[in-house]
Structure 1
Amino acid sequence: MSEAADMTTMKAIVVREFGPLGTAKLEDMPVPEPKDGEVRIRVAAVAANFVDTLVMEGKYQFLPERPFSPGKLPVGTVDAVGAGVTRFSPGDRLLTMAEHGGYAEFVCVPESQCFRLPDGLSFDDAASVSLAYDTAWVTLTDRARLAAGDTVLVLGATGAVGLAAIQLAKAKGARVLAGVTSPQKTDIVRQAGADEIVDLSVPDLRNGLREQVHALTGGAGADIVLDPLGGDFFDAALRAVAWRGRLVVIGFASGRIPEVKANYLLLKNIEVSGVQVSDYRKRMPELMNECFEDIFALCVAGRIRPAPVQAYPLADYARALEDLLGRKVTGRAILHP
C-alpha cells in the first residue's frame, strides 16, 4: 500500500481507453470505500489471465464502464467492511469473485462473492487456483457430469485450465488423455497426472487426433472432451467423442470459432455445450461455494497442487501478460500489488 495521503490513495492499473497491452497505466487512485454489504480487501495477489487482455482491448463479452482496473478473482486480507456485513471481519483471508478491480492495492467486493481461505493455503497458491480451477471444476462437474471411470480428453492441456482439469479429473477417478501441441511439454502434463498423451501437432489433425484417441480407448472414444482451443482442434476432437459423450467449449484460443452440424450430434447421441464461469458466479453462488470448498479441501489434502507461480510487480502487468501470451510462463503469472 502507498504511504501517500495516509491511505486515501492507492496504486492501480487503470484502463481509460480500450487498447493494446501497455495502454493502461499505473496511476494513483482513491482507495474505494465499501458500500453496504461489501468488504474491502487489501490485495495480496491476483493472477494475470488471457481474458484480461481481451477486457483491456475491449473484446470481451462483458466490459465494465471506464475507467476501471482489470484483474479477476484477487485474493487478500479484509481491512474494512460495509454496513450489514456479517460473515467477514478485518483480518480475514479471502478469495474474491471480483470480475475486475484486482490490478490494484485495494478492491471492494460484495460479501456474497467472497470465500474464506483455509489456513493451509497461501495467497499465491489461492491466486494460482482462481479462475483456472473453478472453470475446470464447473466444466467437469456441472456441464460434463463427470463420473468415476470416464475417459477425459483435455485439449490445451498445458494451459492453466488444462492442468487444473487434469488434476481435478484424476482426483474424481477419471482416466485422462492430455492433448499437447509440443512433445517438449509432455512432462508437465504427466506431473499433473495425465495417463496418456495425444499429440495435437500431427500433420493430419482431423484424422490423427481420432486415431490416437481410438487407439487409447479401444475404439470407444473419449467420454468427455474439454476444449479451450476451438478451430481445427474442435473439429478434430468432435470426431473422437464416444457414443453419449460430452464436449464442452471453454474458449477459442486458436482463433477460429468452429461450427457444428446438428445431424452429427444426433447420429452419435453426443452433446456439445459451453461454459462461461462468470455467469455461474452471478447466477449460482451456492454452486460456486461448493466448488471452492471442494477445491480448497483437495488442495489442503495434497490431492491437487496449484500451478507454480511466476511473480511480477503490479507495474509490470504488461510484461506478465506478454510472457503469458508468448508461452514464457511455466505455471501461473501472478501480480503482487
Structure 2
Amino acid sequence: MKALLCKEHGPPEKLVVEDVPSPEPKKGEVRINLKAAGVNFPDTLIIRNLYQFKPDLPFSPGGEASGVVDKLGEGVSHLKDGDRVLVMCGNGAFAEQIAVDASRVIPIPDDMDFDIAAGFTMTYGTSHHALKQRGDLKPGETLLVLGAAGGVGLAAVEIGKLMGAKVIAAASTQEKLDLCKEYGATEFINYSDEDLREGIKRTTGGAGPDVIYDPVGDKFFEPAFRSIGWNGRYLVIGFAGGEIPKLPMNLPLIKGAAIVGVFWGSFTAREPKVHQENMTELMGWLNDGKLKPYVSKRFPLEEGGEAIRWMMDRKAMGKVLVEIGD
C-alpha cells in the first residue's frame, strides 16, 4: 500500500510517498481501507516534532479518516467486514490502509458521504466541547470567534449560532467573512483592515464578548482578552498564528474573567461518556440538516504534503481533505 511518510522531522516538503507493507490488525484492532482523511492543524505540528504526542519515525500524519472495514483482529465484535466507518487515530491516516484499535472506529450511515465523515469529528467535536462544557455558552450571549473561517472556527460559528448566541466572526479576508455569514455570524471583524480591539468595541457596543473562541493565539490573544466582557470565558484552542502568547495576570482579575484550556483529545479519553453524548448530539444535528460541513479543498494522497502546507499557510476555509480511495 502507499503511505505519506514523515521520515525526518521538518516542513511538509520533507514528506514522501512510499510503498509500505499492509498493516495486520492485532487483537482488538481492525484494518480499514481508507477513502479520505481530514487535514488538521495538529498535522502541521506533529511532522515538526512540536505536538504533545510524538510518534516514532517513520510515521504517517493524519488524525481522522473514513473508509471501509477490511479485516478484523481477534476479539472485535461490534464491527464487521464491509462496514462504512470513521476513525480517530491520532496519526497514520494519510495512507491507503490503517490498523487501529476498534474502540476508535465508529460505523457511519450508508447515506453519509465519506468526505463528510473524514472531516467531521475533530473540528465539530472540538468546537462543541469547547462551547458547551468549557465555555458554558448560553442563549443570548455574545461569542467572538477568531480565525472564524478555518476548520474549527467555522464549526464554532455554526454551533454557536445553534446554541442561541450572537456570533461575531473575525478573520483576515472579506472572502472568509462572507463564508462565516453563510454559517450564522451576524457581526464581522476583518483584522487585516481594522484594529481588533476597535472591531470588538464596535460589534459589542463596548460591552465585550461573553465567550471568546481562539484557535489562533499569537498577536491576537492579548488585545482580544483585554476586550472580553465581565465574567467572560476565554477559550484557548490552539496557536495557529505561531507564537504562544503570554498575558499579564492582572487582566483576568480586573475582568473577572477565566482563561479556559480546551484539549479535546484528552477530554475524549478522560470523559468518554460525555464525549459520546456530545457526538450523539452532533450527529443528530447533522442528520437534521442543522450542520452543513464545508469542504474547501481536496488533495490526492500524493499531494498530502501540499495539503499540510495549505493548512500551515492559513489558506484553509472550512475543511481540507486528502482523498485516498475510490
Report the TM range for the smaller structure's normalisation.
over 0.9
Pair 1:11-2:2 in alignment: yes
Unaligned residue ranges in structure 2 (runs of 5+)? none
Pair 1:333-2:320 in alignment: yes
Equivalent position of 2:100 in the other structure? 109
Tell me if structure 1 keeps the 8 A contact 2:36–2:118.
yes
- Rounded Cα–Cα distance in structure 2 between residues aligned with 1:230 and 1:327: 13
- Rounded Cα–Cα distance in structure 2 between residues aligned with 1:80 and 1:284: 29
Alignment of structure 1 residues 132-151 onto 2, 5 Å: 132-151=123-142
Equivalent position of 1:235 in the other structure? 222
Give the alignment partner of residue 32 of structure 1, picking from 9, 19, 23.
23
Give the alignment partner of residue 50 of structure 1, picking from 41, 49, 54.
41
Instruction: State the shift of 1:263 in Å.
Output: 2.4
Pair 1:264-2:251 in alignment: yes
Instruction: State the shift of 1:88 in Å.
Output: 1.4
Equivalent position of 2:280 in the other structure? 293
TM-score by length of 1: 0.90
Alignment of structure 1 residues 242-253 onto 2, 5 Å: 242-253=229-240
Alignment of structure 1 residues 131-210 onto 2, 5 Å: 131-202=122-193, 205=195, 209-210=196-197
- The CA deviation string for residues 253-308 of structure 1, in whole angstroms up to 9 with x for no partner, is 22221112222212221100111222123322223222222222211211111112
Amino acid at match of 2:139: A
Tell me if structure 2 keeps the 8 A contact 1:15–1:67.
yes
Equivalent position of 1:273 in the other structure? 260
- Rounded Cα–Cα distance in structure 2 between residues aligned with 1:328 and 1:247: 25
Instruction: State the shift of 1:172 in Å.
Output: 1.4
Give the alignment partner of residue 52 of structure 2, picking from 53, 57, 61.
61
Deviates more, 1:161-170 or 1:323-332: 323-332
Instruction: State the shift of 1:167 in Å.
Output: 0.5
- The CA deviation string for residues 127-153 of structure 1, in whole angstroms up to 9 with x for no partner, is 232321111111111211122222100
Identity in percent: 39
Amino acid at match of 1:170: K
Instruction: State the shift of 1:210 in Å.
Output: 3.4
Amino acid at match of 1:12: A
Q: What stretches of structure 1 move > 4 A for 4+ residues in a row?
A: 327-330
Amino acid at match of 2:219: D
- Rounded Cα–Cα distance in structure 1 between residues aligned with 2:121 and 2:54: 20
Tell me if structure 2 keeps the 8 A contact 1:129–1:307.
no
Unaligned residue ranges in structure 1 (runs of 5+)? 1-9
Instruction: State the shift of 1:233 in Å.
Output: 0.7
TM-score by length of 2: 0.93
- Rounded Cα–Cα distance in structure 2 between residues aligned with 1:135 and 1:111: 21
Equivalent position of 2:85 in the other structure? 94
Amino acid at match of 2:321: I
Tell me if structure 2 keeps the 8 A contact 1:230–1:257.
yes
Tell me if structure 1 keeps the 8 A contact 2:30–2:69.
yes
Tell me if structure 1 keeps the 8 A contact 2:2–2:17.
yes
SS, match of residue 311 in structure 1: strand
Tell me if structure 2 keeps the 8 A contact 1:78–1:93.
yes
